[in-house]
Structure 1
Amino acid sequence: MSYLQLSLYSETLRLETNVQVILAADPAASPCLLLLHGASDNDTIWARWTSIERYANRYGISVVMPGAHLSAFADMRRGPAYETFLMRELPEFLHRHLGLPTARELNLIAGLSMGGYGALRLGLRHPERFSAIGCFSSGNLLVATGFIPGTSDPYGWISLVMGEDINNPALAGNPDFDLFEILAALHADAPLPRVYMACGRDDFLLNCSRMTAERLAAHPALPFYYEESHGAHDWNFWDRYVKHFLDWYTDTEKTLTETTTD
């Protein structure tokens, strides 16, 4: 297993961007996790604040950790096209140079907070690319605030990504960004990814997570698993639950809709 720090010029983004890669011994035959950071973080954060390299070694997987600033990993209305970069340019680059797999059954995506929303959004918008999705401390962020008067956008990323003020009610129901609209558009007869969600009971996004979990669990064709436990919006929780996610991913029996608490 190797740890690589990549810097590459992206034609899609039109800028230099950084990607951290934990490379399995046999990358072509090993699962590959695209692991997304939160709003205040960058490409190095997962490696610095969790034991993800140790978990990758234990489960025999590669892990790709891109930096995407405050983009929500979407094609921003007022910024770079990160979704296009992550779904097209980066996988092609990593397959060509590092031999990472392109097959759906070997690719999974996960993230925390903004990255959890990004993982759900990308995984549900591109079910042909991923066999599993992990979301920690997040959900449909368009319902986290409710878009009611007085709601703040502390990082300013909602307006940059979606092109609208956070209090604009038109954002709810937007088919590009509202996870519930994306979920409703899924074709039940097509292969859908397994979805895992986890949130701490002291997390300020708990209600958002629960609301999102209810909608995902109600989908008739989506394998779904939800965990709730003690914990807050912090790295103690995310370090524990990225490992739980990988445990779940390798447990083929946890494929039905389930909810667990402890």
Structure 2
Amino acid sequence: MSYLQLSLYSETLRLETTVQVILAADPAASPCLLLLHGASDDDTMWLRRTSVERYADRYGISVVMPNGYRSCYTDMRRGPAVETYLIHELPDFLRRHLGLPTSRELNFIAGLSMGGYGALRLGLRHPERFNAIGCFSSGNLLFDPMFRPGTSDPYGWVSLVLGEDVDNPSSKRDPDFDLFEILAAIPADAPFPRVYMACGRDDYLLNCSRITAERLAAHPTLPFYYEESHGAHDWNFWDRYIKHFLDWYTDTEKTLTETTTD
């Protein structure tokens, strides 16, 4: 197993960007996790704050950690096309240079907070690309108070993602950003990814997570698993639950189940 820090110029993003990669011994034949950071972080944070490299070695997987900036991993209405970069340009680059797989059978996606929303959105919008999704401390962020019409956007980044004035109470949310609308649009015969969600009971996004989990669990076709336990919106929780997620990923018998741990 190897660790690489790559720098590349992205034609899609139109800027120089970085990506961290934990490379399995046989990358072409090993599962590959696309792991997304939160809004206040960058592509180095999973490695700096968790034992993800050790977990990757244990499970024999590659892990790709891109810089998603504050994009919510979308093609921003007023900013870079991060979704297009992650779905098309970056996988092709990693296949050509590192031999990483592009097949659905070997690719899965996860993230925390903003990255958890991004993982759900990308995984549900591109079910042909990912066989599983992991979401930690997040959900359908349109239920996050920061994203509600009439709510102040002190840093300006929500407006850049959505392309609208979020301070205006009459603003309408684009269904392209609504996970429930995206899920409803997936054809019944599509290959639904398995979905894992986890949130701490002291997390400020717990309500958002619960609303999302309830809707996903009610879907007739989507294989879904939800965990809730003690913990807050912090790296102590995320370090524990990235490992829980990888345990779950290797156990194909876990589907529509809700568990509570102390």
TM-score computed with the length of structure 1 as normaliser:
0.96
Task: Describe how 1:73-222 pairs up with structure 2 within 5 A.
Answer: 73-145=73-145, 147-149=148-150, 151-168=151-168, 170-172=171-173, 174-222=174-222
C-alpha displacement of 1:154: 4.2
CA contact (8 A) 1:38 1:115 kept: yes
Counterpart check, 1:8 vs 2:2: no
How many angstroms apart in 1 are the aligned matches of 2:65 and 2:172?
28
Q: CA deviation at 1:148?
A: 5.0
Counterpart contact for 1:12–1:81, Cα < 8 Å = yes
**Aligned AA for 1:260?**
T
Decide whether aligned partners of structure 1 residues 170 and 105 sit closer, same or farther in structure 2, where only a CA change above 3 A counts. Answer: farther
Gaps of 5+ in 1: none
Distance 2:214 2:50 in 1: 29
Q: Which amino acid aligns with 1:258?
A: T
Q: What CA distance in whole angstroms lies between the structure 2 residues aligned with 1:205 and 1:152? A: 18
Whether the 8 Å contact between 1:142 and 1:171 is mirrored in structure 2 is no
Are the aligned partners of 2:2 and 2:22 in contact in 1 as well (CA < 8 Å)? yes
**Corresponding residue for 1:29?**
29
The C-alpha deviation readout for 1:89-122, integer Å capped at 9, x for no partner, is 0000000110000110100000000000000000
Q: Which whole-Å deviations, capped at 9, do the CAs of 1:203-259 have from their partners, x for residues lacking one?
A: 00000000000111111110000000000000000000000000000001102x111
Q: Residue type of the partner of 1:205?
A: L
The structural deviation recorded for 1:152 is: 3.2
SS class of match (1:244) = helix
Residues 1:120 and 1:66: Cα distance change in structure 2 (over 3 Å): same
Size of the alignment, in residue pairs? 259
Cross-structure match for 1:258: 257
Deviation at 1:189, TM superposition (A): 1.3
* Equivalence for 1:64: 64
Give me the identity figure in percent.
81
Instruction: Give the conservation status (yes or no) of the 8 Å contact 1:3–1:22.
Output: yes
Indicate conservation of the 8 Å contact 2:165/2:171, yes or no.
no
Residue 18 of structure 1 is matched in structure 2 by 18
